[in-house]
Structure 1
Amino acid sequence: MSAEQMTHAILELPWTTPPLTLNDSGQTRGARLARSRRIREIRSDVVVLATKARLPKGVRYATITLHYRPALNRRRDSVNLSPTLKAVVDGLTPQKIVKTKAGYNVHAGYGLVNDDSTREVSTPEPIIHETEPGKPGALWLEITWED
């Protein structure tokens, strides 16, 4: 693949800490509902950001890397960011309407890729950067795709 066929974008995310982590227990019904609500919010936020960034739709293949620069200097586990990465990637796939017992749920989606399978998306392990004194935490996506 030549460099001319690859395109690149940085999408700054609105959070200073990861909105979801593997440490979120989700043991109670209320915690599970709150987590589901947060996932919906993340997907919706990503759709708005991708629209503003004018990302393409229906690309053949994309690599989506989550970056995190924490505000506080302490040990961190990059795999712990997986739930945030999953919700973000889901927000970059097409909108889905899912039938439930109570009716229908609409899952927000942008449509950068047609599916989040490994045939269309690569999600390398999230990258945790060093803190920068005086700067708040930050999360962003580095996205490359094939036209």
Structure 2
Amino acid sequence: MVKNAPPLTSNQRLHWRARSALTNLVRLGVTNAAKTARIPSGHHLTVTLHYRPGDNRRRDADNLVPTLKAACDALARGPRRDWIGLELVPDDTPEHMTKRMPEIHRGPGVRRLWLTVEVQS
């Protein structure tokens, strides 16, 4: 998605412009990654956000939902033409997209953030 960028979290208290800039970075990163991976359009997507923080500290998976939301918005832009994103499905409603709870992979290693996208035709 976005290299060397921490995920958006529910606990961040940012000015709206700073938050918007970070959200656009996530959307742009997901859009570029999906284009590179040549993810096809489909009838339904199942999306899971994975996060490896690089340490063993405890974290709440639901705290990563703002990052998941921005990623899903990038995959299903909907009617908004001014947003960054693709139209792999018409909208990110449950009819067209299943958003699984983010998964945190604790342990040492390089900090990483990635998506898995399953496409049903």
Q: Which has the larger radius of gyration?
A: 1
Give me the identity figure in percent.
Answer: 38
Distance 2:73 2:112 in 1: 20
RMSD (Å), alpha carbons: 1.5
Partner residue of 1:124?
100
How far 1:19 sits from its partner (Å)?
2.5
Question: 1:33 & 1:129 partners in 2: Cα distance?
Answer: 30
Query: What amino acid does structure 1 have at the position aligned with 2:72?
Result: V
Task: Provide TM-score, normalisation by structure 2.
Answer: 0.91
Instruction: Give the corresponding residue for 1:40.
Output: 24
Between Structure 1 and Structure 2, how many residues are aligned? 120
- Read off the aligned partner of 2:58 and give its amino acid letter: R
Instruction: Kindly indicate which of the two structures has a greater share of residues assigned to strand.
Output: 1
Q: Which runs of 5+ in 2 are unaligned?
A: none
Q: Deviations over 1:41-98 (max 9, x none)?
A: 21111111111110112x111110001111121010000000000000001113623x
TM-score normalized by structure 1? Answer: 0.76
Q: 4+ residue runs of structure 1 moved beyond 4 angstroms?
A: none
Alignment partner for residue 108 of structure 1, among 84, 92, 98?
A: 84
Alignment check: 8 A CA contact 1:17 1:137 kept:
no
Deviation at 1:16, TM superposition (A): 5.0
Report matched runs for 1:1-147 at 5 Å: 13-15=1-3, 18-26=6-14, 31-57=15-41, 59-94=42-77, 96-97=80-81, 106-132=82-108, 135-147=109-121
CA spacing shift, 1:113–1:53, aligned 2, 3 Å:
same
